[in-house]
Structure 1
Amino acid sequence: MAMIRTGNQYRDSIRDGRRVWINGERVKDVTTHPMFKPIVDIRARIYDMAHEAKYRDIMTYEEDGERFAIGLKLPYTQQDWHDKRRATDTILEDVRGIVTRVGDETVGEMWSLYDGQDVLKEVDPRFSENIARHISLVTKNDPFHVSANTDPKGDRSKRPQDQDPDMLLHVVKETDAGIVVRGAKYETAAAYANQAFAKPTIANWGDDKLSEYAVGFICDLSSPNLRFIARTGFAGRAPIEDYPLANRFDEIDVLVIYDDVLIPWENVLFYQHTRAAAFIRATLHRYSAFAFVQRNLKLADLMIGAALWNVKQTGLEKQPAVQEKLATLACYREGINAHLTAAIATAERSPAGLLMPNQSLLMTGRVLACSQLHEMIHLARELCGGQICVTPDAACFRDPEAGKWLSKYYTLNDEWQSEDRRKLLAFARDLLNSDYAGHRLTFQLFAQSPPFAHLAAVYRNFDWSEPLRFTKEAAGLSDQVYGRQKIAAE
């Protein structure tokens, strides 16, 4: 029986001579570099989980005698979404933390394009065929697939043509073999992934029908004309005992330079047609938002856990003011859970026949999860107390002289000795207060789009007709007024 690839096969696939820089250093091997290795190992772990008897039926499904990854499966039923949700939860439980850019969230963007095949056929029937073929290849070949979305952009008061044209990724030449593209994209995890779905970020194309910037394609990340310039990683900056999350779960963001990269025609998903570009921008998170918001749910669990263990340690959990704050965190958590659960329960059929989560519930759930996240983080900080910013490092606790004093002042009782107290405070600091924690909060604006885009998605997907109907009946408005306004709303 054929199986999806292993962790070592994944590691071998990214040892391809790609040109990667971090901290001013050319990286020889991303699988062994100290800032990349921890997250590469987690992605390899996800591949290996699919081969273990304990996880195989959770992580994979069987079809025609072969096994495929649940996360990459096209969703046709509610059970498909329940299976995806369970697989993601299982991964996060196994690695004991939260990873976002591992493929299950970015492949959903391809499904959105699958829904737009009629739009693509208007441009060139080949493009529609390309997307169907690539979705099939993703399922069969099990690559680490990421998203190439945000450009450097430059001066946004000017059109791309009125400044350095490379500020936005664009086509510079057509050949018999394909298109040649130039520019740059910020892509999380690209330095250690296999392929990227690149697409434009322009939201307003004006009256343009054709543009060299309106291009979407699959890019093989082993291309020799790519360069990967990474931001500084968090892993290795400080001991893992003091920063247990930053050292294991940093998903490194990269500026990918496309220096006249050839994209074969079979990898081009749309080109020049601004309507196709506008469609993918409007529907980009139709499916992938579910995976992102699910991570917010698990983050809420970690914040509740860190806060609750802290107040239990110090005997404050019975105070009404503390319980009120914990209940607020619980409401936030269950609000996200309710939106995800309801989005599956009332899922909708997509234009291509897929089953997509109820769009109004999913998009409003994303607004809830993201807009309140910073407030919930600060609430968890309050519950954890000021010691998360003043506690000495693990080395001091191990020091023969200093450690005696720290043991005295950090031991709470027979149940809570100083080492457990130190571990919990270090975890809470890294979750809520560290450079890594601040990065993860800001990352929401990059990975899930800014708040105005969230609300725009809600506006596009909310059913305005029912409030109009009910108010029309309650106010006794005429049928003619209702008819005109209903059409306008639609």
Structure 2
Amino acid sequence: MIRTGEEYRESIKDGREVYIEGDKVKDVATHPAFKPIIDVRSKIYDMQHSASTKDVMTYKADNSEECAIALKLPRSQQDWWNKKNATEVMMNEIGGVVTRVGDETAGEMWSLYDAQTALNEVNPEFADNIKNHIDNIVINDPFHVTANTDPKGDRSKPPQAQDPDMLLHVVRETDRGIVVRGAKFETAAAYANQAFTKPTIANWTADTKFSDYAVGFICDLGSAGIKIICRDGFAGKNPLDYPIATKFDEVEALVVFNDVEIPWENVLFYRNTKAAMFIRSTLHRYSAFAYIQRNLKVAELLIGASILNVQQTGTDNQPAVQERLAKLACYREGIDAHLISSIAMAEESPGGLTMPNQSLLYAGRVFACSQLYEMVNIARELGGGQVCLTPSFDTFNHKEIKPWLDKFYSLNDQWSAEDRRKLLAYSRDLCNSDYAGHRLTFQEFAQSPRFAHLASVYHHFDFDGPIDLVRQAAGLSESLQSNKLKKTNIAGGHGAFLGTTADNLKRKI
């Protein structure tokens, strides 16, 4: 059943091996680098029980069990409206943006649900494992994340032609399961319960049928043999100077699998490269929606900080300033338009679920991510130079300096020096701090590189309509009608399961 925040905290006190800033962590739930974001995740769990948010955050399953809306298998448009609303309420309640809370990674399990036909060709037990784990996520409400990127190695070589442990792979089988070795980069691994560990991105050819690197499984992050080696955190700074970094830093880690045994019931696919390639190609079918909605909230934060910054200096009536604010507003509305339209034009997935319209969703991701850095620069411009020049909270309160700072930072009866300092500190942490730069770079990791974004659009946009329009308008030969654009299927030969956008549009909900 749905957890409380305290139950979540207790669940990660499992003796896991975590390292950060040169230290081995004794208790991840209380360590200063992790406690702020663990508190946020705990609050989200508690929101599922709170009288003011419970109805938005939960639903009653067929067995009358209360479950999280975010984790529900999407079977209708209404499910997606409910998910969008629940995420909006959650982000507003915690007062910021958290990428990894589970709703974005549950979607990758739904992609596996759609892949059951393909996986049945390999081993029918794998499809059963997928269904069981989806049920487990819904019923038991674990903090579920995903393991995506390997240490890069030499991508010009196949995995077997370099250090074999550079990419995660199976080293042997036992009666109980498989034993894996290698590493993955993961966000929130140090304080999550489990991870869907995805297949390696490898240079498999079309005739490669089997590979020990083509493996996907559910991993208990407290398992023996796992070492979680984290990057340094941002939470150690003064929260009065860095109000975002000290609350919302989601610590990434290199998760080392040193001969970790994965029980057979947790193996989702194994030694079939076509299945692995198919699953990699459809991973963002659902989860892209959650990631893009995070960009929507970031846009709102940029707008709010920018408007308050120009209002405090009295420049909000200048046409040049209004033009920049309008660009921020168009960015926000453009993201929301893609999200709304992807639900309104929802499609039936190969597994019978309801998925956001893929062409609109992936185009929205390109729009949101490709313009983000420009929107941050607009917010920096509207914030003014003092965003990067303002002293710290301790300096503002130094007995010899405070009168001077109060004098030069107070604008009028409405804007005191302290309120102005708070806004400038928030704007700095939103746009200019080490954490802000990290978050901007993180977009390339969390949502995949830009070229992959455009590739997704290419493979899901219905080019046939424009081709027919021009063919008819130009009076071209009828023989060209059947000579439609041929696209290489990124699923590695599983086109029957993916379907084309044109076919899916005919089945739209």
Whether the 8 Å CA contact 1:69–1:142 is kept in 2: the answer is yes
Q: What SS class does the counterpart of residue 435 from structure 2 fall into?
A: helix
Match of 2:201 in 1: 202
Q: CA deviation at 1:488?
A: 6.4
Matched, 1:319 2:312: no
> Deviation digits for residues 213-267 of structure 1, max 9, x if unmatched?
000000111101101000000001x210000000000000011000101111111
2:219 counterpart letter in structure 1: C
Match of 2:356 in 1: 357
Match of 1:13 in 2: 11
Instruction: Quote the Cα distance in structure 1 between the aligned partners of 2:167 and 2:86.
Output: 36
Instruction: Quote the Cα distance in structure 1 between the aligned partners of 2:29 and 2:223.
Output: 18
Alignment of 1:389-404 (within 5 A): 389-404=388-403
Whether the 8 Å CA contact 1:203–1:278 is kept in 2: the answer is no
Instruction: Quote the Cα distance in structure 2 between the aligned partners of 1:444 and 1:192.
Output: 21
Alignment of 1:34-433 (within 5 A): 34-63=32-61, 64-202=63-201, 204-206=203-205, 207-236=207-236, 238-433=237-432
Whether the 8 Å CA contact 1:203–1:281 is kept in 2: the answer is no
Whether the 8 Å CA contact 1:153–1:167 is kept in 2: the answer is yes
Normalising by structure 1, what TM-score? Answer: 0.98
Q: CA deviation at 1:487?
A: 6.2
Whether the 8 Å CA contact 1:229–1:254 is kept in 2: the answer is yes
Whether the 8 Å CA contact 2:170–2:179 is kept in 1: the answer is yes
Structure 1 segments of 4+ aligned residues over 4 angstroms from their partners: 486-490
> Deviation digits for residues 46-83 of structure 1, max 9, x if unmatched?
11111111111111001222100011000011110111
Q: CA deviation at 1:482?
A: 1.6
Aligned residues between the structures: 487
Instruction: Quote the Cα distance in structure 2 between the aligned partners of 1:367 and 1:381.
Output: 22
Q: What SS class does the counterpart of residue 149 from structure 1 fall into?
A: strand
Instruction: Quote the Cα distance in structure 2 between the aligned partners of 1:112 and 1:467.
Output: 29
Whether the 8 Å CA contact 2:108–2:283 is kept in 1: the answer is yes
Instruction: Quote the Cα distance in structure 2 between the aligned partners of 1:167 and 1:227.
Output: 15
1:31 counterpart letter in structure 2: A
Q: CA deviation at 1:485?
A: 2.2
Instruction: Quote the Cα distance in structure 1 between the aligned partners of 2:311 and 2:409.
Output: 15
2:305 counterpart letter in structure 1: A
Q: CA deviation at 1:180?
A: 0.5
Whether the 8 Å CA contact 1:43–1:102 is kept in 2: the answer is yes
1:141 counterpart letter in structure 2: N
Instruction: Quote the Cα distance in structure 2 between the aligned partners of 1:201 and 1:323.
Output: 47
Instruction: Quote the Cα distance in structure 2 between the aligned partners of 1:287 and 1:418.
Output: 46
Q: CA deviation at 1:201?
A: 3.5
Instruction: Quote the Cα distance in structure 2 between the aligned partners of 1:293 and 1:65.
Output: 32
Instruction: Quote the Cα distance in structure 2 between the aligned partners of 1:65 and 1:128.
Output: 26
Whether the 8 Å CA contact 1:396–1:403 is kept in 2: the answer is yes
Q: CA deviation at 1:314?
A: 0.4
1:101 counterpart letter in structure 2: R
403-412 or 156-165, larger mean C-alpha shift = 156-165
Q: CA deviation at 1:176?
A: 1.2
Q: What SS class does the counterpart of residue 181 from structure 2 fall into?
A: strand
Q: CA deviation at 1:480?
A: 1.4
Instruction: Quote the Cα distance in structure 1 between the aligned partners of 2:154 and 2:487.
Output: 35
1:375 counterpart letter in structure 2: E
Matched, 1:439 2:429: no
Q: CA deviation at 1:398?
A: 1.0
Instruction: Quote the Cα distance in structure 2 between the aligned partners of 1:324 and 1:420.
Output: 26
Q: CA deviation at 1:210?
A: 0.7
Whether the 8 Å CA contact 1:74–1:354 is kept in 2: the answer is yes
Instruction: Quote the Cα distance in structure 2 between the aligned partners of 1:488 and 1:51.
Output: 48
Instruction: Quote the Cα distance in structure 1 between the aligned partners of 2:34 and 2:259.
Output: 27
Match of 1:29 in 2: 27
Instruction: Quote the Cα distance in structure 1 between the aligned partners of 2:60 and 2:300.
Output: 32
> Deviation digits for residues 15-47 of structure 1, max 9, x if unmatched?
000000000100000100000000011111111
Q: What SS class does the counterpart of residue 104 from structure 2 fall into?
A: coil
Unaligned runs of 5+ in 1: none
CA change 1:449–1:487 in 2 (3 A) is closer
Q: CA deviation at 1:163?
A: 1.0
1:34 counterpart letter in structure 2: P
Supply the RMSD in Å over aligned alpha carbons.
Answer: 1.0
Normalising by structure 2, what TM-score? Answer: 0.94
> Deviation digits for residues 114-164 of structure 1, max 9, x if unmatched?
101111001000011111111011101100000101000212222211111
Instruction: Quote the Cα distance in structure 2 between the aligned partners of 1:205 and 1:486.
Output: 25
Q: State the identity %.
A: 64
Q: CA deviation at 1:188?
A: 0.2
CA change 1:487–1:385 in 2 (3 A) is closer
